[in-house]
Structure 1
Amino acid sequence: MTTAEARGVRTTDWTLDRGYAGPSGEIRWAALGPEDAPPVVLVHGTPFSSYVWRGPARALAAEHRVYVWDLPGYGASEMRPGQDVTLDAQARALAGLIDHWGLTGPAAPAVVAHDFGGCVALRAHLLHGAAYSRLALVDPVALAPWGSPTYRLLAEHADVFRRLPDDLHEALVHRYISSASHPGLHPDTHARLVAPWLTEAGKDAFYRQIEQNVPHVGTDDIQGRYGELALPVLVCWGAEDTWIPVGRGHELAALIPGAELRIIGGAGHLVQEDAPAELTAALGRFLRTGR
């Protein structure tokens, strides 16, 4: 039985079948598409997992070698007490994975990153030497202060919320994850995203990753460097995002030389779930042409 199965997560439709021993714990990952196709790395955010990328990943794999992974402390990857799950630790994990996959020099990948993953990808590139051919940021954490009102409340009182009875913790996670979608998540998708956080280890991990990432740490030391980004950049944003309002997308795109901004109507923060066809079309075009 895999770790994910032990947590009650169905793995028949999305399996991360490989492992990498990163500095913050074992990372589960998978690769889709032809081995000799142009590489693309997908990075998820919080409180999600690579599962949110399943639709775009499968579609993009027709023309690309697509790498997906669960960040340490998330999904099927290792969760343990004392784990370093800060945004900088995740950025170092991404840089290590890219090196592990051999995606360096002329083989540098395109990177597509959502939510926390946006900050992770930006830090890996600007601070840890990870080279990309191009970068797409989807409703990213990039400008301080960040975080929804709920996230900020949890960050300020993580130790209190960690002591919630299990049934109240479960209700909180259900409500929190559901608020990321504008039209609402399919029940199976919702259950899949909630499940990793409902075990004893998952409950602790849920509050740990919030406690270690208060809404300014992780962006303060890179926000002034976005003008240094010298590669094609696409910024996608859900028009109905209530976690990070679309105005932040306009601000971010203005800070990055030559960045293109694409607003996706009818989508909330989880654009991959709310408008997968529109997002995949925009990403596919950008990966082929840089626009």
Structure 2
Amino acid sequence: MVLCHGTPWSSRLWEPYAHALSSEFTVYLWDMPGYGASSKHADHPVDLAVQGELFADLLAHWELREPHVVAHDYGGAVSLRAHLLHRAMYGSLALVDVVALRPWGSDFFRLVAAGADTFAALPPAVHRGALEAYVRGASHRGLTDEQLATLTEPWLTAEGQAAFYRQIAQADERFTDEFHDLLSTITTPTRVIWGDRDTWIPPDRGRRLVDLIPGAELEIIENAGHLVQYDAPVELAVALHRWLTRTG
């Protein structure tokens, strides 16, 4: 199985789940270009079109045939683009609070898109304050200091700060519009999981997604925001294990 992170996260968000599931599955983690431990070079594009194509290439490089894919946030758009536009095949697909249907992207996204270079030049302390406030907003129950540090650390160096605003500036709804009409062609078993208190991507997107993907099932996790991995770790782990053992 392959775990896909979103933005502005990294594979570290999925690490505890990878360890827990590794007794029953061979688990692959990866950092998208521009995220986590991957390259943050300014010349490397990090938009969703690039990420989807690279994910399909990565699965081919790993010689994985029809792996189970679990995706969160941007990882949903990445995995859907890889499948629908680049013919990557999956054994099953679990979509957790994903970017897949418009509208997505916050007012903060639009503000950054209008002046990414200005944001990249913010004094480090100001950048840290904005970053931490932004990340905290993804959790309904609140983050511990350790969790906050895990999520913000990659973006606090000079290189990371520039990369943080660069990936936001390259976000565009056209990248999900390009596969919207193909969602009805999905035959892969699909489970949509959503936190009921997600303010970043409200649960109605999950309900709409289930309506568009034939045979898809929806599971709502109570009292969980966008960072359902931290807000409801036991509930999410059980939901994923139940799904994966059923489809595996």
TM-score range normalised by the length of the shorter chain: over 0.9
Matched, 1:148 2:109: no
**Structure-1 separation of matches of 2:199 and 2:239:** 22
**Structure-1 separation of matches of 2:110 and 2:198:** 16
Does the 8 Å contact 1:126/1:222 carry over to 2? yes
Matched residue, 1:221: 178
Q: Tell me whether 53-62 or 153-162 shows the greater mean CA deviation.
A: 153-162
Higher helix share: 2
Matched residue, 1:245: 202
Matched residue, 1:211: 169
Matched, 1:290 2:239: no
Q: CA deviation at 1:48?
A: 0.4
Matched residue, 1:62: 23
Where does 1:56-135 land on structure 2 (aligned, <5 Å)?
Answer: 56-104=17-65, 108-135=66-93
Q: How many residue pairs are counted as aligned between the two chains?
A: 248
Matched residue, 1:17: none
Does the 8 Å contact 2:2/2:27 carry over to 1? yes
Query: Partner letter of residue 287 of structure 1?
Result: L
**Structure-1 separation of matches of 2:157 and 2:187:** 43
Q: Which runs of 5+ in 2 are unaligned?
A: none
**Structure-1 separation of matches of 2:133 and 2:97:** 20
TM-score (norm 2): 0.96
Matched residue, 1:233: 190
**Structure-2 separation of matches of 1:276 and 1:99:** 31
**Structure-2 separation of matches of 1:157 and 1:266:** 35
Matched, 1:139 2:97: yes
Q: CA deviation at 1:205?
A: 0.5
**Structure-2 separation of matches of 1:140 and 1:148:** 14
Does the 8 Å contact 1:148/1:242 carry over to 2? no
TM-score (norm 1): 0.83
Matched, 1:159 2:120: no
> Which 4+ stretches in 1 moved above 4 angstroms?
none
Deviation track 1:82-132 (CA, whole Å, cap 9, x = no partner) reads: 21101111111211111111112xxx2010000000000000000111110
